[in-house]
Structure 1
Amino acid sequence: MANGKRSDTLGTDPIYKLLLRQAIPASIGILVMSLNMIVDTIFVGRWIGPLAISAITVVIPVTFFIGAIGLAVGIGGSSVLSRALGKGDDEKALKVFGNQVTLTFLTAGILAILGLVFQDYLIEFFGADESFKELALTYYRIVMYGIVMLALCMMGNNVIRAEGKPKFAMYAMMLPAIGNIFMDYILINIFDFGMEGAGWATFISYAVCFAFIVWFFVAKSELRLTFEAIKLKRTIVNEISGLSSVTLARQATVSVLTILLNNVLIVHGDALDVASYGIISRMLMFALFPVIGVNQGFLPIAGFNYGAEKYQRVRESINTSIKYSGLLALGIFIIIMIFPQEIVSIFISNNQNLDAATRADNAILLERTPTALRWVFAATPIIAVQLIGASYFQAIGKALPALLLSLTKQGFFLIPLILILPQFFGVWGVWVSFPIADVLSTIVTGYYLNKEVRTTLIP
């Protein structure tokens, strides 16, 4: 361990200052990363066509899930690491970090190989039909070559934040996003490589992020990897896995949800409805970036202070995080409700030189998507309670309630609603399922969070 630990400030500085210090860089990083996804979608939509958006949308579940291996190990392990740092147990923190690296590399590597072996089956399973299957396969193969780097980046980013160095975590997200946007322009627009260009631009962005993460842990980190640290220890693996399962289950549920949505939209609609969801899913991450940033900033603060038994500071971090993220969510809701048409039009080319079929597809997409966007964001002002509540249990190491609350929206409510409502209301039933799930999951999470705070954090 390096001397002069920045992580100690998590237990001493004012909560609101800590939250701003953690959340602003996290928000900026998420903003740039989501802008990357937005611009990627805009480029393929405008320069390749609307079916290219459908192609990327069906590829996302598998790449998202494998990348989420690193995110899960990163968040779960960093909860253990934050509490170890809070207790002053530097030796355990180092072993946790080493085991995170090994677990991420092995698990993501195996899944990447299997994903390439079964690529044809997986693409069809994810909802691709013959109209855009080849586009999806082209993008999928190239992205999968670099997916292990993405998983390691997702893991490393959360460790950086757990050390109390959020600016470096922000840089780790910004650099590849900027690189991907630049390479998209070069490879798709200038060299006209089509979906191959989109795939290689994404691969290069993973490599840039990985290079930065490696540099940080060599030059700037408090943690120094040793051969002994990367050897898997059963007790540490069990502790990491218990908490990582929360994030992994949540991300796996998102992947299952995306697969289900793609297939339901194909059955009750068509490929352009899949493209509509592709636009909406990007907007979900992009528009909510400040709310997600507050949530990311909250995790190390709550974990460190819980480990240090500073329960009043934990309560304060919960209240402050919900207040800030709730106000931000309200602002986002207002913007989406007022400007849905303008937002969707960004993704669609108005070039009159396009062929008649593409122009017709663009017109249909512009007609359908704004209404769907409004419905999906209809309950946004209340989501802060659900996000912070589920994250609190993960931050303090209570894996089971964290898992169950993390699954309330997508797993317990949204998936059943999407299976049921379209049977009666068609594609509209898909979109209205989102706000209903938000309301129900917020009620459940709010109840259990309040009960836990009164039982554990109030003397």
Structure 2
Amino acid sequence: METDMTRGNPLPIILKFTIPLLIGNIFQQFYNMVDTIIVGRFVGPNALAAVGSTGTIMFLVIGFSQGMSTGFTVLTSQRFGAGDENGTKRSVANGILLSLFVIGIMTVSSLSFMRILLRLMNTPSDIMGDAYTYISIICMGIIANVFYNMFSSFLRAVGNSRIPLMFLVFSACLNIILDLIFVIIFKMGVAGAAWATNVSQGVSALLCIIYITRKMPVLTPERHHWKLHQYDTRIQLSVGIPMALQFGITASGTMIMQSAVNLFGSVAVASNTAANKFQSMVIQGMIAMGQTMATYAGQNYGKGDIGRIKRGVRLALTTELVYAVVSTIVVVLGLPFALRLFFSGNVDLAEILPWAKTYSYLCAAFYIPLGTIFIFRNTMQGCGYGFLPMMGGVVELAARLITATLAIKLLSFPLACACDPAAWLSAAIFTGVSYIYVIKKVENQQVA
């Protein structure tokens, strides 16, 4: 089920590859959202706020680890596009070995400094205990999260986006069942939701490994491949480290924003959590298109067809524009209905809705620049350029820092909510200019 993205009409190929990714991303968000829905309805608003307050920390820890490991798969995509089967297998083995080091370091360091991090983020005292419990258990499952996403990325690198979707759908259903059992029947509270996530992701990782070893010989290393190769390590780290730092920098910015939101109390945190979860579901099409462009650019870069990369980017941007407009409409019309999923009947939604509207409506106005970030960033990464996408994360961090500082000084909730739009607009401009620079540089290298 490999897909050669170097031939044929780009748009049907891009859309055919994106749709399974979109469905998979929605399922992944869905089973993340189930945690908050079940916790909010069966444990209480404070527990929901506790889970929500750790979202940015989770993005930092998991995103950093995941970014590093996913960056290792770019070399696999390039070698597959170039028709180098031996090099493809070697890159898989090298990436797995490097990921084991990353997982060990991130697990130990995240568990060691978690309480300090929660205090620095102004986590309200009434939700501190549950917040620490939830995020600590999630950090124990870094290995499951990273390996699932890395093996899924290996499959996508050779054009297979359907099998990861099938395993993810199964895992999502398992997560929901475990959530219900751990939280409702066993009364495990936020700890139950965290363990349900870890177990379901571990099952997804295991299914990917079994499928690759049995059905994908091009991704199955042989015995002599299982060692660190200096050249592969250098190439993979040169992409993986900037991708990890990009996640880390972006997450640091969202943590700053969360710190500003936390100042307004647990009701504001719970409202913002629910609105953010709904928004995360809606924008998954943008993220899926970005993931597609990483594989598309990687394969065509490996083949040396830069003109085809440019054509694919233009078509992807047009598609993202339409998707962004539709997403804006969905958020504006669907927010009141979505909020009812997160809270039980004894919670006054009239108190929740104004906070949620402020965040959601501000963000929805900037979905178009948000969509362009994923395309430009992933295309550059697919071509093996990690530094400029990472610097896009620095631009996001600066924008969020400035906006959040003003929000904290002025005690303005709308300004706290404006952290995301400010970051998206700034990063869209930076990554757009960076993409033009990278493409021209690659074209000049070909001519030379």
Count of aligned pairs: 444
Q: Is the 8 A contact 1:63 1:147 kept in 2?
A: no
1:171 Cα deviation after fit: 2.3
Question: Distance between the aligned counterparts of 1:455 and 1:263, measured in 2?
Answer: 40
d(CA) in 1 for partners of 2:8, 2:184:
48
Q: Which residue of 1 aligns with 2:415?
A: 429
- Picking from 49, 56, 74, the partner of 1:54 is 49
Contact 1:101–1:230, Cα closer than 8 Å, also in 2: no
Please name the residue that 2:254 is paired with.
258
Letter of the 1:248 partner, please give it: A
Confirm or deny that 1:400 pairs with 2:376. Answer: no
Change (3 A) 1:363 1:77: same
Deviation of the 1:98 alpha carbon: 0.9
Compute the displacement of 1:416 (Å): 2.3
2:338 corresponds to 1:343: yes
Please identify, of 163-172 and 21-30, the stretch whose mean Cα deviation from structure 2 is larger. 163-172
Within-5 A mapping of 1:178-197 = 178-197=173-192
Counterpart-to-counterpart distance in 2, 1:126 and 1:180: 29
Compute the displacement of 1:19 (Å). 0.6
Equivalent residue of 1:182, what SS?
helix
| Contact in 2 for aligned 1:41/1:53 (Cα 8 Å) | yes
How big is the shift at 1:444? 2.9
Residues 372-409 of structure 1: per-residue CA shift (max 9 Å, x gap): 2111222113322222112221111122222223443x
- Give the structure-2-normalised TM-score: 0.92
Deviations 1:169-218 (A, max 9, x none): 22243222221112112222233322232122112212211211221221
Question: Where does residue 155 of structure 2 map in the other structure?
Answer: 160
Give 1:311-390 correspondences, 5 Å limit.
311-351=306-346, 359=347, 363-390=350-377
Cα distance in structure 2, aligned partners of 1:446 and 1:118? 36
Amino acid at match of 1:215: I
Q: Which amino acid aligns with 1:176?
A: S
**For 1:132, what is the secondary structure of its paired residue?**
helix
Q: How big is the shift at 1:457?
A: 4.8
CA 1:404/1:425 → structure 2, altered by over 3 Å: closer, same or farther? same
Q: In the alignment, is the contact (CA less than 8 A) between 2:49 and 2:270 conserved in 1?
A: yes
Runs of 4+ in 1 over 4 A off after TM superposition: 451-459
1:301 equivalenced with 2:290 (yes/no): no
Q: In the alignment, what sits opposite 1:38?
A: 33
Q: Which amino acid letter does the alignment assign opposite residue 331 of structure 2?
A: I
Please tell me whether residue 112 in structure 1 is matched to residue 76 in structure 2.
no
1:145–1:456 CA distance, 2 compared to 1 (3 A): closer
Q: 1:151 to 1:234 in 2, by over 3 A?
A: same
Cα offset, 1:311, TM superposition: 2.0
Q: Which amino acid aligns with 1:246?
A: P
In the TM superposition, residue 165 of structure 1 has moved relative to its aligned partner by 0.9
Question: How far does residue 128 in structure 1 lie from its aligned partner after superposition?
Answer: 2.7
Cα 1:103–1:159, aligned 2, differ >3 Å: closer, same or farther?
same
What is the distance in 1 between the residues matched to 2:190 and 2:305?
A: 52
Is 1:242 equivalent to 2:228 in the alignment? no
The amino acid of 1:368's aligned partner reads: W
1:392 is matched by which residue type in structure 2? Answer: T
Cα distance between partner residues in 2 of 1:349 and 1:247: 39
Contact 1:336 1:377 in 2 (8 A): yes
Identity %: 20
Structure 2 residue identity aligned to 1:402: P
Q: For the residues of structure 1 that align with 2:86 and 2:134, how far apart are their CA atoms?
A: 43
SS in 2 for 1:160: helix
**Distance across 2 between alignment mates of 1:53 and 1:78:** 35
- Asked whether the 8 Å contact 2:246–2:389 carries over to 1, the reply is no
CA RMSD of aligned residues (A): 2.3
Question: C-alpha displacement at 1:371, in angstroms?
Answer: 2.3
Q: Any idea what SS the aligned residue of 1:238 has?
A: helix
- 1:203 is matched by which residue type in structure 2? N
Distance 1:336 1:378 in 2: 10
The runs of 5 or more residues in structure 1 that have no matched partner are: 352-358
Judging changes above 3 Å, is the alpha-carbon distance between structure 1 residues 429 and 160 closer, same or farther for their aligned structure 2 residues? Answer: same
> Residue type matched to 2:402 in 1?
P
Matched, 1:131 2:126: yes
Q: Could you tell me the TM-score, scaled by structure 1's length?
A: 0.89
Using the TM superposition, name which of 304-313 and 276-285 deviates more: 276-285
Q: 1:91 to 1:277 in 2, by over 3 A?
A: same
* TM-superposed deviation, 1:239: 1.1
Matched, 1:80 2:75: yes
